Amino acid sequence: MKALGKILGLFLLGLLLIVVALLFALTHLFDPNDYKDEIRQIAHDKANLDLQLKGDIGWSLFPWLGLELTDATLASADTPDKPFADLRMIGLSVRVMPLLRKEVQMSDIRVDGLSLSLQRDAKGHGNWEGVGRPAKANADTPQPGEQPAVADAPSTEQPSKPASQPLKLDIDSLTLSNSRVDYDDAQKGQQFTVENIELKTGAIREGASIPVKFSAFFGTNQPLLRARSEVEGALRFDRALKRYQFEDLKLTGEASGEPLKGKTVNFSAQGQLLLDQAANIAEWNGLKLSANQLRALGELKVRELDKDAKLAGGISIAALDLRDFLDGLGVELPAMRDANSLKQFELVSRLNGSSKGLMLENLDLKLDGSSYTGSLGVADFAKQALRADLKGDKLDLDRYLPPKSKDSAGAARQAEVKESIADAGSNGTTPLPNAPTQQAWSDEQILPVDRLRSLDLQLALSLGQLIYDKQTFTDVNLKTNSRSGLITLEEARGKLQGGNFISSGSIDVRQIEPIISLESRLNRIPIEPFLKKQEQPAPLRGLLDLDAKFNTRGNSQKAWVEALNGNASFLINDGVLVNANLEQQLCRGIATLNRKTLNNPPTGKDTPFRELKGSLSVRDGVARNPDLRAQVPGLAVSGEGDLDLRVLGLDYKVGITIEGDQREMPDPACQVNERYVGIEWPLRCRGPLEMGAKACRLDQDGMGKIAARLAGNKLTEKLEEKLGDKVSPELKDALKGLFNR
């Protein structure tokens, strides 16, 4: 636009030279058409312009000095074969006497068929360059009738002249029609066109309101875009005060092209514009904006125009369907689980910014039934420094996440688990499945590493309610920041169904392979929601206490699990093993040892327990648990084993000390006599983790040892009966140890 303003100024300068030349001709009372060559020479020498006057020059002398020029072209004298301006007709007239008082009183100025063709070649040279300075070729050549310049004449200091006063303008109207401007930059491959330019003004007088109406079509090739625009309003200016106003602005138009993906946007703007160069401020008051469905009100104020300009103001966007609005702009939203998300949007905010960044402060945002307050924006455009400090009442994150898809590995694993559970049966008599080997995790890249390395983020988020993975978290607070490839989770805390959690961690992408660390503490968090799968109940219920610290590396689920290392301690209170009656299986084992048949076996579906605790040591994706302890009514449980997170499989040895059938009418086959007191009954749990307690069976090898031990105890008792007091206590203990091995 600066180049366009310069060209228009140079064009008017050329017209002024023409006027001066015509005055010269008029003083000799000759037809100015007879002096076209002289006019061309003056334009060449004084302004380095190549002026072609193909049409006639019409003129009048008094009281109006009138001029009408047709069919003219302008080019730089350096490139006369590349004209940058073509004019069909210009007509103007100036009252003679006011010129003597430095006042310009003009009738209508009419410009028709003006065409500016500005071209910059591959070397960056423009076809308009060189215009406006005297021609170098004729600098030392005296013109006919002129005296040669005296070289090396002694200079004499001239007295300073008083500053000239600006001309006082008084023009009846200005009309510009059927005009266009073309700009072609071969160096950048850019093209810009303004065509069908129509400009009409009322009387142009300083300090007075000047009606203005302008319309044109705009086009660019990078990106390919076309737009039509109309502007109406009243212009007022005061050059002495350097104050310019555009009152009652009305801008309307429409645009379409590649950025809009073939869609058309209808836009409009209204308001009062002010530019005060003396105070270095600019304002847009009474701002009204619209673009398709969007309706907005606001005000903008820019101060310190002579420095790094500061922006302040406010904006209010009325409620709209944001999804339809973005679709009308050609924005393709990613697939979301809820197709009705982003349907409700409303915003009110104060604006605060500069050339470096823009912030929305005192923000009041409503989105899909949720409300948010705080601040949001970009602190530094160059660094893409994002800043957000928001407080909201609720956020249903599930609505905006990508739809869930079942990959082939996941489907295969589900089939394997269902088959294992089906094989396990409901009575616990079938053999245990082998440990799973199916890959449970995806190796698809997850983190946008390149984007995270350049991310500059400071985020503070407070939510009264957060829904994620169908779980409702309350009093959620999140603080995180990212800079130079290090993303730090300072705090993530909240509540879930009476429990609470707090976590911290980091993601380091400054090296080739991302490094992730996480530290978390959970207190009485329900464990069932995190174990429950679609169409499959959770194998375990209870309230979890967890203190964990883990680290890993990589950029996929598979890599993260395989490189997982750390330690954790856990405690599950008020728990239930779902769809697993351990008492039934143990009664069956006791009945076997009693050599009796169960007539009234326990029929409960689940196994409750008061407490389950232990510790985990995770190395390369395998969690070792050496100290499992549980308190089950009528049972004391201990165990040790491995949890292979890589394939979500378990392999545990569990020992259970039982009290037997504690019902009012116990089954005789399941009664615990004194021979079974203190005996730890062995279970083996092996298979996919989703099987839960169904993956546990009586350990047959262990049962054999128990049977042998009981047989030895019985033999010892018979020996004691026969020997009586004839055997020393030391020998009795030795016999017991022999049979209990």
Count Cα neighbours of 131 within 13 Å in the Cβ-side half-sphere. Answer: 30
What pLDDT is stored for residue 74 in this prediction? Answer: 85
Provide the token pair at 41: 């020479």
Among 725, 145, 698, 250, which Cα is nearest to 431's? 698
Provide the token pair at 268: 């409009």
What pLDDT is stored for residue 654 in this prediction? Answer: 85
pLDDT at 418 > cutoff 60: no
Q: Where are the alpha helices (DSSP H) in 51-208?
A: 96-99
**SS3 state of residue 253:** strand
Tell me which DSSP letter residue 1 carries: -
What pLDDT is stored for residue 430 in this prediction? Answer: 64
- Bridge partners for 628 per DSSP: 639
Q: State CA 162 to chain mean position distance.
A: 59
Q: How far apart are the first and last CA of the chain?
A: 99
What pLDDT is stored for residue 653 in this prediction? Answer: 87
Confidence of residue 26 (pLDDT cuts 50, 70, 90): low
**SS3 state of residue 558:** helix
pLDDT digit string, tens, across residues 469-517: 888 999 999 999 999 899 999 999 999 988 999 999 999 999 889 999 9
Burial class (CB in 10 A: 0-12, 13-18, 19+), 701: exposed
Sign of CA dihedral 333, 337, 338, 341: negative
Provide the token pair at 618: 């995770």
CB 213 within 8 Å of CB 186: no
Provide the token pair at 593: 């040892």
pLDDT at 62 > cutoff 60: no
What pLDDT is stored for residue 615 in this prediction? Answer: 95
Place of tokens 């125009």: 305
What pLDDT is stored for residue 148 in this prediction? Answer: 47
Residues 6+ apart with CB under 8 A from 100: none
Residue 628's identity, in one-letter code, is L
User: How many helices, marked H, and strands, marked E, lie in the chain?
Assistant: 11, 34
Confidence of residue 564 (pLDDT cuts 50, 70, 90): very high
Distance CA 119, CA 182 (A): 8
**SS3 state of residue 139:** coil
Q: What percent of the chain has pLDDT over 90?
A: 43
Provide the token pair at 76: 């730089």
Distance CA 144, CA 139 (A): 14
Distance CA 240, CA 555 (A): 65
Q: Which of the two residues, 697 and 439, has the higher pLDDT score?
A: 697
Maximum pairwise Cα distance, the chain:
163
Q: Where are the alpha helices (DSSP H) in 89-196?
A: 96-99
- Bridge partners for 269 per DSSP: 251, 289
Exposure string over 412-427, b if 16+ CB within 10 A, otherwise e: ebbebbeebbeebeee
pLDDT digit string, tens, across residues 610-646: 888 999 999 999 999 999 988 876 677 889 999 898 8
Mean pLDDT of 712-733: 50
Q: Which of the two residues, 16 and 460, has the higher pLDDT score?
A: 460
pLDDT digit string, tens, across residues 299-329: 999 999 998 899 999 999 999 999 999 999 9
Mean pLDDT of 695-721: 61
Average pLDDT, the chain: 81
CB 420 within 8 Å of CB 688: yes
Residue 520's identity, in one-letter code, is S
Place of tokens 């002289």: 38
- Bridge partners for 109 per DSSP: 174
Residue 192's identity, in one-letter code, is F
Distance CA 500, CA 478 (A): 14
Mean pLDDT of 48-68: 74
Provide the token pair at 182: 């073309």
Backbone angles phi, psi at 678, to 5 degrees: 80, 0
Confidence of residue 27 (pLDDT cuts 50, 70, 90): very low
Q: Which of the two residues, 213 and 24, has the higher pLDDT score?
A: 213
Distance CA 215, CA 204 (A): 19
Q: Which of the two residues, 105 and 285, has the higher pLDDT score?
A: 285
Sign of CA dihedral 135, 137, 138, 139: positive
